[in-house]
Amino acid sequence: MVFIGFSINIEAGKSTALVGQSGSGKSTIIGLIERFYDPLKGAVKIDGRDIRSYHLRSLRKHIALVSQEPALFAGTIRQNIMYGASEDIDESEVIEAAKAANAHDFIAGLKDGYDTWCGDRGLQLSGGQKQRIAIARAILKNPAILLLDEATSALDSQSEKVVQDALERMMIGRTSVVVAHRLSTIQNCDTIAVLDKGKIVEKGTHSSLLAKGPTGAYYSLVSLQRRPNNSEIN
Ligand SMILES: Nc1ncnc2c1ncn2[C@@H]1O[C@H](COP(=O)(O)OP(=O)(O)O)[C@@H](O)[C@H]1O
Ligand SMILES: [Mg+2]
């Protein structure tokens, strides 16, 4: 049992970050919103309605997920970026999305460009390249709900910065749930919820949680990630 008596309210149009140690249940919340599985008891509601009452495909039409190990499908890079987006997408929109995800340059550098085959027996892409394709896919889909579960974890810090900017622009005015190991990437979120052993132990903004001082759960997580020679938390 991961959650017992668990409750969280995620505000529409705002970004909510889930932080906490590995195994605290962050990905489980993402999985419940996606309906990869249903709770044994209780309900997940969107717009006040149990998500089990929505048609699964229409529910997922409004959700985009970028995870730590994104799946690429057997098909071209172009098809992988367009996957799940509406039918009438033109080439320039695909390229715009790829540029925003910092993926265009490496794709354009491939011999077959956007026609490069990936997935099973396709091109071997690095984890970071797959994540950028998945981010381009999410940007193109333009969903009402954006789920990011360690979405930039495979990127080096230089590409992470660029992609982070694109993701933050995408989060504006959109219901977003963000899980990130590197806490520096979630500090601008509207709300940060700290999970510990399947419970929410703190909730607030970056500055309000830091203001709790050394006894605070968020403060402790941030301190753990601070480099030893970095005397200031900001
Ligand atoms: N597929 C699974 N089957 C059984 N237990 C799982 C599965 N996935 C995760 N868990 C367990 O659920 C708990 C929460 O995991 P998870 O939501 O993945 O945590 P986090 O994303 O915060 O690291 C952990 O105790 C983990 O071992
Ligand atoms: Mg996880």
Residue 25's CB: how many other CB atoms inside 10 A? 21
153 ligand 1 Cβ < 6 A = no
Q: 25-43: per-residue pLDDT in tens?
A: 999 999 999 999 999 999 9
Are 205 and 12 contacting, i.e. CB atoms less than 8 angstroms apart? no
Distance in Å, CA 182 to ligand 2 centroid:
13
Do the strands 117-118 and 191-196 form a parallel or antiparallel pair, or are they unpaired? unpaired
SS3 177: strand
Distance in Å, CA 25 to ligand 1 centroid:
6
Specify the residue with its C-alpha closest to ligand 1, atom 12.
2
The tokens describing 51, both together, are 């998500």
Q: 49-84: per-residue pLDDT in tens?
A: 999 999 999 999 999 999 988 889 999 999 999 998
pLDDT at 227 over 70: no
Ligand 1, atom nearest to 179 Cα: 21
Q: 99-141: per-residue pLDDT in tens?
A: 999 999 999 999 999 999 987 766 788 888 999 999 999 999 9
Whole-number Å distance between alpha carbons of 119 and 88: 24
Whole-number Å distance between alpha carbons of 95 and 103: 9
pLDDT band at 234 (very low <50, low <70, confident <90, very high): very low
Q: 89-101: per-residue pLDDT in tens?
A: 999 999 999 999 9
162 ligand 1 Cβ < 6 A = no
pLDDT band at 155 (very low <50, low <70, confident <90, very high): confident
pLDDT band at 228 (very low <50, low <70, confident <90, very high): low
Give me the domains of the chain, ranges plus CATH numbers. Answer: 1-62+146-234 (3.40.50.300), 71-142 (3.40.50.300)
32 strand-pairing partners: none
192 strand-pairing partners: 17, 204
Whole-number Å distance between alpha carbons of 13 and 28: 21
The three-point CA angle 168-173-175 to 5° equals 85
